[in-house]
Structure 1
Amino acid sequence: MSWTQIFTDKPWLPEPAGEVPLIDSGHPPGVIALRMLLGAITILFLLFFVTFIERSQFQDFQALAGEPWQPFTDSLKLWVNTGVLLLASLAIHGAAHARQNRVRVTLLVASAVFAIVFVLLQISVWQFLYGLGYGLSDNPANSYFYMLTAVHALHVVGGLTALAWVTQGLLTGTNATAALRTCATYWHYLFVLWLVLFFMLTRTPETYAIIAAFCGLG
């Protein structure tokens, strides 16, 4: 069953006589569930991005980058966060392709540590912004930054729960190869999503105007 069939299938309708419902025997249930989850997350963030770009065209929207005094004109802190999340993604990628359970568990623990560090660094960025006077409700750009990065961090925490479950399976001798690779796909997705967030939240007003015009939101 393709991605299009997953989202357009209407299981509540009766099947025509003589036809057998399509059953995707080529993919385990976990893969299909992951596709549905990633599809839902993508739609959620696309809606956030559309409203963000539209809101950026109002006069009270003050971008967080562009001028020397704005916090993310120099986005070194976010680059550090990006590097840490990349290490988490690389570690779980290595675990998914390792053959020995001992190596897999070691890399999974490393991935979890990097992910926890990423969340802690995100909290430090929020504290940095707040300390500079960029409160949650002081400016729409601030509100979007806190909201989008917090929602992303919550998905990272959800990924940590999945990592713990897979690690427990490996320690008990369960064949968790399929679950591990599914988990790795989720982590790679979170990294790519973070790159998109990084780009969106650290642009100048001129860039937002170009994106809005391109999308017909200007």
Structure 2
Amino acid sequence: MDFFQEIRTKPWLESQVEIDNERSGGSYTLPSVKVGLRVFVAVVGVVFSLSVVAYSDRMTLADWRPVPEPLLMWLNIIVLVGASVAMQWAVRSAQRDRTSNVEVGMLIGGACTLAFLAGQLLVVRQLDELGYFAPTNPALAFLYMLTGLHAVHILGGMVAWGRTLLRIWGGADAQQVRMSVELCAFYWHFLLAIWLFLFVWFVIT
């Protein structure tokens, strides 16, 4: 049964009792790996939220100097969106049993992700050339901390991405890697949402 249908049921009604009695006893469940990933991203979300709260408190002090947003940061967002779109295309391809398209989607997603990480390093270099140094600017220190934390989680996702590609290259078909592809896509969408939130926060503050 669909999750949303499940939560709308009214078990106290006689008609619903009859429907329930006709069922085989199945219930709405998620694979354990999906549950585990959702718990993990929830914890990561809390970590980023607490970091943003600390950022907000720190910016009220007198020594806070705002940091400019280089154009490259905007371009990096487009690249990360591209990675997320490619991962979703890989999911659709897996659902349609198109192994070659799954491989292409994963490769494009990974390439865009690596380009995003390289772009983030270039942003650090640009800010350094503009005379912004983390030891003397708490705003920049927080920026580096949050972007670094985000990058670490991306690198963790790249491990799962690499293992999925190795399975494909080892002869696994689309259905055999479908779960892994779905997990990668979900994680990439989450990382995109986190970065969009952080970037908007940087811009408005």
- The one of 98, 114, 117 equivalent to 1:116 is 114
Q: Distance in 2 between matches of 1:142 and 1:121?
A: 17
- 1:92 aligned residue: 87
Report the counterpart of residue 143 of structure 1 in structure 2. Answer: 141
| Shift of residue 170, structure 1, vs aligned partner | 2.3
Q: Which deviates more, 117-126 or 174-183?
A: 174-183
Q: Distance in 2 between matches of 1:95 and 1:124?
A: 29
Cα RMSD of the aligned pairs, angstroms, is 1.6
- Asked whether the equivalents of residues 56 and 141 of structure 1 are also in contact (C-alpha less than 8 Å), the reply is yes
1:134 match: secondary structure: coil
Pair 1:28-2:31 in alignment: yes
Residue 173 of structure 1 corresponds to which residue in structure 2? 172
Rounded Cα–Cα distance in structure 2 between residues aligned with 1:85 and 1:50? 25
SS in 2 for 1:26: coil
Counterpart mapping for 1:157-168 below 5 A: 157-168=155-166
Q: Deviations for 1:134-181, whole angstroms, at most 9, x for unmatched residues?
A: 111111101001110011111111111111111122233150111211
Counterparts of 1:1-218 in structure 2 under 5 Å?
Answer: 26-64=29-67, 71-72=68-69, 75-98=70-93, 99-171=97-169, 172-173=171-172, 175-204=176-205
1:63/1:203 contact within 8 Å kept: no
Q: Measure how far apart 1:40 and its partner are.
A: 1.0
- Gaps of at least 5 residues in structure 2 are 4-26
% same residue: 28
RCO comparison, higher one (Cα < 8 Å, 6+): 1
TM-score, normalized by length of structure 2?
A: 0.81
**Structure 1, unaligned stretches of length 5 or more?**
3-23, 65-70, 205-218
Contact (CA 8 Å) 1:30, 1:179: kept in 2 or not?
Answer: no
The separation in 1 between residues aligned to 2:186 and 2:177, in whole angstroms, is: 14
- Report the structure, 1 or 2, having the larger helix content: 2
CA drift of 1:203 comes to 2.4
**Which amino acid is the alignment partner of residue 144 of structure 2?**
Y
Deviation at 1:133, TM superposition (A): 1.2
Counterpart secondary structure, 1:150:
helix
Contact 1:61 1:141 in 2 (8 A): yes
Write the distance in 2 (CA, Å) between the matches of 1:124 and 1:138.
20
Letter in 1 for 2:85: L
Match of 1:210 in 2: none
Deviation at 1:25, TM superposition (A): 7.3
So what's the TM-score if we normalise by structure 1? 0.76
The one-letter amino acid of 1:157's match is L
Of 131-140 and 172-181, deviating more is 172-181
User: Contact between 1:134 and 1:142, CA under 8 Å: does it hold in 2?
Assistant: yes
CA distance in 1, matches of 2:44, 2:61: 27
For 1:42 and 1:197, how far apart are their aligned partners in 2?
A: 11
Q: Which protein is bigger by CA-based radius of gyration? A: 2
- Please state how far the C-alpha of 1:131 moved relative to its aligned partner: 1.2
